[in-house]
Amino acid sequence: MPVTPISATSNPVRQTPLFASNPEVLARVAEMRARYAKADPQTQLPDVDPRRIPRHIAVIMDGNGRWAKQRGFPRIFGHRNGARALRETVEEAGRLGVEAMTFYSFSLENWRRPPEEVEALMLLCVAYCEGEREALLRDDIRFRWIGRRTGLPPEVLAALDSVVEATRNCTGPTLCVAVNYGSRAELADAAKQIAGEVRAGTLKPEDVTEETIASRLYAPDLPDPDLLIRTAGEMRVSNYLLWQISYAEMYVTNTLWPDFDAVCLHTAIRDFAGRSRRFGGLDESDAANSITSGDGSA
């Protein structure tokens, strides 16, 4: 998986949309705008087929501490600027017609960090919820969070739940943050729920399927991510959405998260749109070659 550099030149001069006359494209854009009036992918990314824009993007926001250190500031300064990058990325994603974005905000493993940094991150979470509530409502963005409630300070739980409730009826894009989250813990919690249902007699062991497990995850109503973005050049998934990203495309950039912007998002989506997603099968050209060669090779 190549690490793709980001530069300001990756955003081309505005041009006439390449797919403007395609009825299927027009229908897809109309669907995006019906959900979110500000969606305008043909203006934002005229060279990308709107049908190739991911519905759900997951992001591992890495590099906040390094960004701050490079500038001689404490790590929390990087986290604060990372919150700004999150806001700008969500806004641009909405304009592109993306339905949902999930950001890895605070993992179960992050409790191992210095106590002063953990406390600062908890305070930042509360401040973000309080500061963004009106903007989310104004932009019709639904807020969600996933993770374990146990262990989070009461004020953090209250702040998160308050924004969830305030934006419950919003019908635009979904902003989901993973707080006190670990994918193995999520799967363990789903397994406990299923085991309890089997013990209670409301579910038979032989009826447990992939769909059963998926429906017991923290946010079963969100589509699985199509694209996973990781910043700061790190080449791992860090116990993040392991079930949900089974077939997601991965995109890694050297850009530190506070520097991630609309241009960076455009570059990631262009890269995604140019890939062939086979989901374990073959694309048309590979299938044709397989049939004509008859050798059964992969």
Which one is catalytic: 62, 139, 180, 226? 62
CA distances from 190 to 121, 148, 202, 208, 247 (A): 27, 12, 15, 12, 20
Q: Is residue 189 classed as helix, strand or coil in its secondary structure? A: helix
Residue 198 is encoded by which pair of tokens? 């089997």
Over 50: is that where the pLDDT of 290 sits? no
- What pLDDT was estimated at residue 21? 77
For residue 110, indicate whether it is catalytic: yes
Averaged pLDDT for residues 172-185: 98
For residue 62, indicate whether it is catalytic: yes
Establish if 171 belongs to a structural domain. Answer: yes
- What pLDDT was estimated at residue 284? 55
- What pLDDT was estimated at residue 187? 98
Establish if 127 belongs to a structural domain. Answer: yes
Establish if 51 belongs to a structural domain. Answer: no
- What pLDDT was estimated at residue 22? 86
| Backbone CA torsion sign across 58, 14, 50, 174 | positive
Tell me if 256 sits within 8 A of 232, measured CB to CB: yes
- Supply the pTM of this predicted model: 0.88
Distance CA 171, CA 94 (A): 12
pLDDT above 70 covers a percentage of the chain that reads 88
Which one is catalytic: 11, 110, 239, 254? 110
Q: How many CB atoms lie within 10 A of CB 37?
A: 13
List pLDDT tens digits, range 16-57.
677 777 899 999 999 999 999 999 999 999 999 999 999 999
Distance CA 105, CA 89 (A): 14
Tell me if 81 sits within 8 A of 251, measured CB to CB: no
Q: How many domains does the chain have?
A: 1
List pLDDT tens digits, range 113-150.
999 999 999 999 999 999 999 999 999 999 999 999 99
- What pLDDT was estimated at residue 280? 65
Over 90: is that where the pLDDT of 278 sits? no
Over 80: is that where the pLDDT of 7 sits? no
- What pLDDT was estimated at residue 8? 40
Establish if 7 belongs to a structural domain. Answer: no
| Backbone CA torsion sign across 18, 20, 26, 29 | positive
How much is the mean pLDDT over the chain?
Answer: 91
Distance CA 267, CA 7 (A): 9
- What pLDDT was estimated at residue 129? 97
List pLDDT tens digits, range 74-99.
999 999 999 999 999 999 999 999 99
Domain region containing 86: 57-182+228-274
Over 60: is that where the pLDDT of 3 sits? no
CA 154 centroid distance within chain: 26
Averaged pLDDT for residues 209-231: 98
- What pLDDT was estimated at residue 19? 74
Residue 174: which residues within 8 A CB-CB, separation 6 or more?
Answer: 99, 100, 101, 141, 142, 143, 144, 222
Q: 292: pLDDT confidence band, cut at 50, 70 and 90?
A: very low
Over 60: is that where the pLDDT of 289 sits? no
Residue 12: which residues within 8 A CB-CB, separation 6 or more?
Answer: 47
Establish if 121 belongs to a structural domain. Answer: yes
Distance CA 105, CA 181 (A): 8
Distance CA 182, CA 148 (A): 8
Tell me if 63 sits within 8 A of 257, measured CB to CB: yes
Establish if 252 belongs to a structural domain. Answer: yes
CA distances from 271 to 100, 111, 205, 253, 267 (A): 18, 34, 42, 11, 6
Distance CA 201, CA 187 (A): 21
Q: What are phi and psi of 244, to 5 degrees?
A: -70, -25
What CATH number corresponds to the domain at position 137?
Answer: 3.40.1180.10
- Helix ranges, 139-182 (H): 154-166
Over 80: is that where the pLDDT of 204 sits? yes
